[in-house]
Amino acid sequence: MGITSGRTYGTSRPGNIFNKEWPDRMAEDALSAKNNRIVTYLRLSVTDRCNLRCRYCMPQEGVSFVPHERILTYEEMLRIVKVAVHHGIRKVRITGGEPLVRKGLVPFLKALAQAQGLDEITLTTNGVLLEEFASDLKAAGIKRINISLDSLKPERFQLITGRDYFHKVMAGIEAAQKVGFSPIKINVVVMRGVNEDEILDFARLAVESPLCVRFIEFMPVGRENGWRPEAFVSIEEMKRIIYPFRPLAALETGRLDGPALRYRPGEGAGEIGFIGALSNHFCDRCNRLRLTAEGCLRGCLFSDQEIDLKGPLRNGADDGRLLDLIRLAVSTKPDNHLVLHRGPRKCARIMSSIGG
């Protein structure tokens, strides 16, 4: 047997997502979106700054970062998260820009971990500073960690990211393993003509080590990120490349898992995942919100509709008003796939300012 048929994310039907996570008496408090979805996942971008310049994410030069006073303070983020958690958010992923470049992150994470009702805090990082931070992150209560790495070749890594930091990232992965993060997910954005010839090398990594390698389809986000149809490699094509190397057995997707299709590669130690934001559209089941570092709440990665929370927050909005605005953002979540219906388009923001 080769590749078994993929599962789409969320093992429960919309109806029982509701029952599973929310007792009936709390139903009206939940953040419910179109298609009977309950929003339980918040991606929190703590900064728009970064120590890499990945070509698919950020322009190489002339990036203008948001001035510090326009970035949410940690106190403001905590306030928003607490309101959201009170109304059903169960998982928060810390992202950026590069989250580890923001000062004071560890104490913030410790405070966040106190938010009652939050089941899980996870973090996505480029790994450059991970060697330094791995132990503190673990102690602060980060449960799982995703590390982005698009090439196993140092020179190519530098070409993609604009920086000669390959060995720092490898040291970061090692440090994360050493302090006991498990599973560790490695995010690989696959681009034709750039790194698609490394798909098997990454698959081998998932066989030989307990890492979970997740191949991500290249997305058209930001105005000039190099996306073009020829550079796009679908998850079906990626699976076809891996198939002769190892059979892929589909795995169950957990309640707090994201949209990845998960597989065990033969008898391998690790796992292989695929995130097909374009080809495997999952908008009708998407249960996430994104808060940008500037304090704007987005219901969809591919839409430019944003709800400003920072302004009202700084003008004294109470929790009820914040909740109304969060609900408004939830109501903007599309119930079908905008990219498929309108064709690939680029949203105005660059990915680093949204948080992936």
Instruction: Pick the closer one to ligand SF4 by CB: 100 or 118.
Output: 100
What are the CA-CA distances from residue 289 to residues 1, 12, 24, 33, 101 (Å)? 38, 19, 23, 11, 23
What, of ligand SAM, ligand SF4, none, does residue 53 touch, CB below 5 to 8 Å by kind? ligand SF4
Q: Which does 353 bind (CB under 5 to 8 A by kind): ligand SAM, ligand SF4, none?
A: none
Binding at 58: pick from ligand SAM, ligand SF4, none (beta carbon under 5-8 Å per type): ligand SF4
Give the per-residue contact string, 282-321, with ligand SAM (x = CB under 6 A; - = no): ----------------------------------------
50 binds ligand SF4 (CB under 6 A): yes
Among positions 218, 232, 274, 282, the unique one binding ligand SAM when judged by CB under 6 A: 218
Nearest to 331 by CA among 356, 292, 303: 303
Name the token pair of 122: 């996870």
Q: If residue 204 lies in a helix (H) or strand (E), which one and from where to where?
A: helix 199-208
Residue 280 sits in the site that holds ligand SAM (CB under 6 A): no
Print the binding letters for residues 56-95 with ligand SF4: x by CB under 6 A, - otherwise.
-xx-------------------------------------
Of 9, 6, 7, nearest to 258 by C-alpha is: 9
**Which of the listed partners (ligand SF4, ligand SAM, none) does 218 bind, with a CB threshold of 5 to 8 Å by partner kind?**
ligand SAM
Q: Which does 253 bind (CB under 5 to 8 A by kind): ligand SAM, ligand SF4, none?
A: none
Size of the site for ligand SF4 (CB under 6 A): 13
Residue 93 Cβ vs ligand SAM, minimum distance, rounded to whole Å: 9
Which CB sits closer to ligand SF4, 118 or 173?
A: 173
Based on the shown chain and the rule CB under 6 A, indicate whether residue 96 belongs to the binding site for ligand SF4.
yes
- Compute the radius of gyration of the chain from its Cα atoms: 19
Question: Is the separation of the CB atoms in 133 and 111 below 8 Å?
Answer: no
Which helix (H) or strand (E) segment is 120 a member of? Answer: strand 120-125
Helices 319-331 and 74-86 meet at what angle, rounded to 10?
Answer: 70
Residue span binding ligand SF4 (CB under 6 A) among the ranges 28-36, 46-54, 254-262, 311-319: 46-54
What is the rounded CA–CA span in Å between residue 199 and residue 214? 10
Provide the token pair at 147.
Answer: 């590390």
Write the CB contacts of 253 (distance below 8 Å, at least 6 apart in sequence): 7, 9, 10, 11, 260, 261, 262
In angstroms, what CA-CA distances link 316 with 168, 281, 309, 313? 43, 39, 11, 5
Question: Are the CB atoms for 239 and 248 separated by under 8 Å?
Answer: yes
Q: Site for ligand SAM (CB under 6 A): which residue of 195, 225, 253, 292?
A: 225
CA–CA distance, 309 with 79 (Å, rounded to integer): 11
Residue 157 in contact with ligand SAM, rule: CB under 6 A = no
Interacting residue with ligand SF4 among 10, 97, 220, 299 (CB under 6 A)? 97
Residues 175-204 that bind ligand SAM (CB under 6 A): 187, 189
Residues making contact with ligand SAM (CB under 6 A): 50, 56-57, 95-96, 98, 124-126, 148, 187, 189, 216, 218-219, 221, 225, 351-352, 355-356
Residues making contact with ligand SF4 (CB under 6 A): 50, 52-54, 57-58, 96-98, 126, 148, 351-352
